[in-house]
Amino acid sequence: MSAALTELPAHELAGLYARGEASAVEVTEAHLERIQATDEVLHAFLTVSGEQALADARAVDAARAAGERLGPLAGVPLALKDVLVTKGLRTTAGSKILDEFRPPYDATVVERLRRAGVVVLGKTNMDEFAMGSSTENSGFGPTRNPWDTERVPGGSSGGSAAAVAAGQAVLGIGTDTGGSIRQPAALCGIVGVKPTYGLVSRYGLIAFASSLDQVGPLARDVRDAALLLEVVAGHDPMDSTSIADPPTDFISGLDGGVAGMRIGVPKEMFPDDGAEPGVLARAREAIDRLQRLGARVEECSLPSFEYALSAYYLIAPAECSSNLARYDGVRWGLRAKDPSDVVDMMQRTRQAGFGPEVKRRIMLGTYALSAGYYDAYYGQAQKARTLVRREFEAAFERFDLLAGPTSPTVAFPLGARVDDPLAMYLSDVFTVPVNLAGNAAVTVPAGLADGLPVGLQLIAPALGEATMFRAAHAFEQDRGVVERPPELPAGGGGSGEVRP
C-alpha cells in the first residue's frame, strides 16, 4: 500500500484519514521510504528531518483519535524549500555561506503549516539564494528532473518541484521572484502558484529581491494547490508588505467553471522565435480547450513585455546586492579562518561562500546602483516596471485572466546553459512580468512536447486567485489526463538528518 500512498493527492489522503483507512504515520513513513529509494538520483533534498516528521505525524494521529477537529491538510507530507527559516533545523538557502546555519525561529509560513498539521519532511535543494532557473546554481550540486534525470527540473524551486513530481512529497513550498515556482512546476509537470505580492508573509524568508519575492504552493493538482494556499495566506503583522484582510477562500468557488469568463491571449507570449514549437502548440491547444468550455478568448497585446526581462535583471540584482551585504562573516554563517583584519575576513568569507551566479548578480546590482549609473539603469528599470504594471491593469479592465505558455522550452539538459547566462535568463521571459506587476499566476500541466511536460500559465489581477484557480481547475478536470514521470532507478541515500 505504501506505493499507492505516495501517489495520492492531499484531498484524497484526507478521505483515507477520515475513514480510518490510513494514518499520518503510515503516509509519512511511505514518503520517507520514497526519499530513501530515489533521492540519491534526484538530489531534491538538502536536509531530511525524518524523526521530527514522524513525531509530527504521531501528534496528528493522536489528535484525530481524540476527536479534535483537524484541517484538510493535517498529516499531509510536504517538501519545504530551504530558503524559509526553520527553528533549529539547518537552513542554507542553497549556499555554502549558510551551510550549518540553524535559525532561532520559524518563518510565518512554517508556523502556519505546523498549526495546520502539515508534516514537513525536510528542506529542498534550490539555486543559491533563489538565483537561477535550473537548480544548477546550488552550492550543494544540482537536482535532476524526474522525467529525465539528464535534464534540469527548473529553478530556483527545483528541489520542491522534483520532490512533488517524483512522489517524495505530496505538497511543496517554493518561492517565486521571477518565475521560480511556475517554471520548475511546468518543467516537472505539476501545478505551481505565484500568489499576489503581499498575500503570503515573507517574514522568515531569506531575501533575494524583496519587492519581487513571494512564497507559494506546489502540488500535483489544482485543488491541493488551493488548499495549501489557504493555509499559508493571510495578513502577518511581522511583514510590513503584508496585505491587510486579503481574501483567503479559494475552494468554495473552485467548481464554478469558465463559462462567460473573458480570457486574453497576449501575442507577446507566442513569439515567432525564441520558443519551442511544441510548447506553443500545447499552450494553444489548452487555450482552445478553455474556449470550448465556454470562455470568451481574444488576442491582446502587452508591448511592455519586451522590456520586462531587462528591467527585472536590473531591479532584482540591485535588491540582491543590498540584501546579501549582511553576509559578512561577522554575525552568522561562514567565517574565513585566521583573517588579517576585518576587511580580509569579509573578502575571503564571501569569496569562499558565494557561488559564481550570486557574485555575478551582486556585481550587476552594485554597478546599477552606483553613482552616475543609478538613473540610467535602475531608475529606467523602475519606469519600465511601472509600464508593465499599468499595461496589466488596463488588460484586466477587459479580461478576467490572461493565458499563455509558462516557459518557452521544455526542460533542457543539465549543463546546457551554465556557461550562457543570457540563455538561462531567457527561461523566465514569460514569467517575470507577473512579478514586476505583483499579480497572481498559476501554471497547470498542459501535455507533453517531445515527451516532456509543458505548462499553461494563467495570469490573474492582484487578489484574483479564486478566479485563477477556478479556470485552472476547469481545464484540469476537462482534460482528465494525469501524465506521470517514469519510475526512477533505485538508489539509496537521502534519509539522514542532514544531506550533505
Give the Cα-Cα-Cα angle 290, 192, 71 (nearest 5 degrees).
105
Question: How buried is residue 40: exposed, middle or buried, by Cβ count under 10 Å (0-12/13-18/19+)?
Answer: middle
Q: Could you tell me which residues are beta bridge partners of residue 45?
A: 124
State whether residue 152 is helix, strand or coil. Answer: coil
> 312: closest CA among 380, 405, 376, 245?
380
23 classed as catalytic: no
Give the Cα-Cα-Cα angle 305, 309, 314 (nearest 5 degrees).
135
Residue 425, Cα to own-chain centre: how many angstroms? Answer: 17
Please, are residues 192 and 182 in contact by the beta-carbon 8 Å criterion? yes
301 classed as catalytic: no
State whether residue 157 is helix, strand or coil. Answer: coil
Beta carbons within 8 Å of 211's beta carbon, 6+ residues apart = 197, 315, 319
Question: Strands, DSSP E only, in 82-129?
Answer: 119-124
Q: Which of 160, 180, 321, 407 is catalytic?
A: 180
Give the Cα-Cα-Cα angle 174, 70, 252 (nearest 5 degrees).
70
Q: Which of 49, 133, 134, 156 is catalytic?
A: 156
User: Count of alpha carbons within 13 Å of 146, Cβ hemisphere only?
Assistant: 29
Question: How buried is residue 127: exposed, middle or buried, by Cβ count under 10 Å (0-12/13-18/19+)?
Answer: buried
State whether residue 356 is helix, strand or coil. Answer: helix
Q: Which of 81, 194, 201, 407 is catalytic?
A: 81
201 classed as catalytic: no
Q: Give me the numbers of helices (H) and strands (E) for the chain, helices first please.
A: 16, 11
> For residues 421 and 366, what is the distance between their CA atoms, to the nearest angstrom?
18
> For residues 33 and 27, what is the distance between their CA atoms, to the nearest angstrom?
10
Helix segments in 6-157, DSSP class H: 10-19, 24-42, 50-65, 108-115
| Residues catalogued as catalytic | 81, 156, 180
